[in-house]
Amino acid sequence: MELNQLTIHELHELITKREVSSTQIVQSVFKRIETVEKDIHSYVTLMKERAFAAAADADKRIREGDITPMTGIPVALKDVLCTKGIRTTCGSRILHNYIPPYDATVVEKLKAAGAVFTGKVNMDEFAMGSSTETSCFGITRNPWDLKRIPGGSSGGSAAAVAADECIASLGSDTGGSIRQPAALCGVVGMKPTYGRVSRFGLVAFASSLDQIGPFTKDVEDCAIMMNVIAGYDSRDSTSVPLDVPDYTAFLSRGIDGWTVGIPREYFIEGIDPEVMEAMKSTIAVIEGLGAKCVEISLPHTGYCLAVYYIIAPAEASSNLARYDGVKYGFRAGDGRDLLEMYKKTRSAGFGAEVKRRIMIGTYALSSGYYDAYYKKASQVRGLIKGDFEKAFTQCDVILTPTSPTPAFTIGEKMDDPLQMYLSDIFTISANLAGIPGISVPCGFTRRGLPIGAQFLAGHFEEGKLIQMASAYEKNANLEKRRPNL
């Protein structure tokens, strides 16, 4: 095994025993990047020089015995997270030359914990999408099948971990953008509770839905990353001042006596038969561990997609108003007057999907339509949240497929936005309700494409998700495979 193939906890052990240095790990990661990046294209910006400097720094700390579980570990960052002095593009032409003057809180926290950043990874433009096909830097390919998409919008984050081009990464999830690509690339991805992880320095898409979370090779690594990034931040007014438990303490507790809810509304027509089969095996494993699986109902599920595609574009249209060619980012020529400059800049700076969202959102918020769309959607959102509150009085966690299908082929859904939106049908509800969710690998299709299972829990119950996912992962007996690159 090469060092770049190991997990955070495996590398940490080697580091602690002084058997490997951070520099050696970083070397192994960049060697891998040199070999496979031409096929995968996970990265938008590589931070090679800085990474080696940070690794040398980490090695010094290691020699001094100042070691955290993240010291010297190479991590990739979705290009929606502000990094001081390093361009942060959101996959958009309008920000292609934007260099933030500050670090996002999660970046600061990882840095303080001794992590080494390998670079910024690709994403759908402004995190709008499910396939990483709308970035102005081009597509990212799925390491398991180069003809297929890695999922999205955090496709670069998922592909980089799956292809061992980093040890772990961060992404953002507004409607499924961590969990869906994690499922499609065969890695673990967690969307924390809204308010659990600071959004300071996360470029906003839909502020009431966005959350940052980790992509890792296993559940233990997910717990380690959560220990670093979770917690209150006075610079994010929606961050919640609650203590952060040690998430690694939930790892080996088992789920004997638990009740797992299986929502009837999530096992519907249109799910790929192989995904359905994998869900049945997942249920069997869980029951074998002493948990009871019971059917539950989330009656307003049918409204989730419609509600999301009012609320998310409405918030996006307002958040993206700041990209006007004046304050920062790209400016298209100088028009005859200010208005013409705005028009030219925004026409040339944004891609088609982003423009579609801005138009839908502006319409939904406009005078005379606000009550019919945004207000109504917000009311239904309350009902969706209520469904989950009720469900969690009957069960500890909920199990669903993460995505209705495995990775689809490049280009397959680009001309049909509705088909693309349907890819998030099982993940969107957690963002609307603000609850945490995790996707863990639960098998492969016959063609060798990964499948993911999603677990959902009540607000701030990330520990339960780790407990559940870790018990499942340890006992599922899944074949250990790596993409053949």
| Long-range contacts of residues 362-371, Cβ cutoff 8 Å, at least 24 apart | 362/317, 364/310, 364/313, 364/314, 365/314, 365/317, 365/318
* Exposure b/e, 269-308, CB count within 10 A at least 16 = b: eebbebbeebbebbbebbeebebebeebebebbebbbebb
Question: How many Cβ atoms are within 10 Å of 389's Cβ, its own excluded?
Answer: 12
Q: Which residue among 154, 177, 423, 470 is the active-site one?
A: 177
464 part of the active site: no
Of 127 and 271, CB closest to ligand GLN: 127
Q: Minimal distance in Å, beta carbon 469 to ligand GLN?
A: 20
CA distances from 190 to 120, 222, 350 (A): 19, 7, 29
Of 137 and 205, CB closest to ligand GLN: 205
**Under a CB-based contact definition with an 8 Å cutoff, are residues 74 and 9 in contact?**
no
**Under a CB-based contact definition with an 8 Å cutoff, are residues 129 and 152 in contact?**
yes
Site for ligand GLN in 396-435 (CB under 6 A): 424
Q: Does the footprint of ligand GLN cover residue 319 (CB under 6 A)?
A: no
Q: Which ranges of 230-272 would DSSP assign to H, the alpha helix?
A: none
Q: Minimal distance in Å, beta carbon 348 to ligand GLN?
A: 22
Q: Which of 107, 190, 230, 312 binds ligand GLN (CB under 6 A)?
A: 312
153 part of the active site: yes
Q: Which of 75, 128, 278, 433 binds ligand GLN (CB under 6 A)?
A: 128
Q: Minimal distance in Å, beta carbon 153 to ligand GLN?
A: 4
Q: Does the footprint of ligand GLN cover residue 118 (CB under 6 A)?
A: no
**Under a CB-based contact definition with an 8 Å cutoff, are residues 216 and 70 in contact?**
no
* HSE, side-chain direction, 13 A CA sphere, residue 218: 17
Q: Which residue among 21, 28, 78, 191 is the active-site one?
A: 78
78 part of the active site: yes
DSSP codes, 138-175: ----BTTBTTB---SSSHHHHHHHHTTSSSEEEEEESS
Q: Minimal distance in Å, beta carbon 131 to ligand GLN?
A: 9
Please tell me the count of residues contacting ligand GLN according to CB under 6 A.
13
Q: Which of 107, 127, 183, 229 binds ligand GLN (CB under 6 A)?
A: 127
Q: Does the footprint of ligand GLN cover residue 437 (CB under 6 A)?
A: no
Q: Which of 71, 89, 130, 403 binds ligand GLN (CB under 6 A)?
A: 130
Q: Does the footprint of ligand GLN cover residue 129 (CB under 6 A)?
A: yes
Q: Which residue among 21, 153, 429, 470 is the active-site one?
A: 153
Q: Minimal distance in Å, beta carbon 220 to ligand GLN?
A: 25
76 Cβ contact partners less than 8 Å away, ≥ 6 residues apart: 42, 43, 117, 118, 119, 120, 121, 156, 157, 160, 161, 165, 166, 168, 169, 170
Of 93 and 191, CB closest to ligand GLN: 191
CA distance 409 to 272: 15
Site for ligand GLN in 146-205 (CB under 6 A): 153, 173-177, 205
Of 129 and 261, CB closest to ligand GLN: 129
Q: Minimal distance in Å, beta carbon 408 to ligand GLN?
A: 13
CA distance 264 to 164: 37
Q: Does the footprint of ligand GLN cover residue 317 (CB under 6 A)?
A: no
Tokens of 82: 């502000």
| Catalytic residue positions, numbered | 78, 153, 177
Q: Which residues bind ligand GLN (CB under 6 A)?
A: 127-130, 153, 173-177, 205, 312, 424
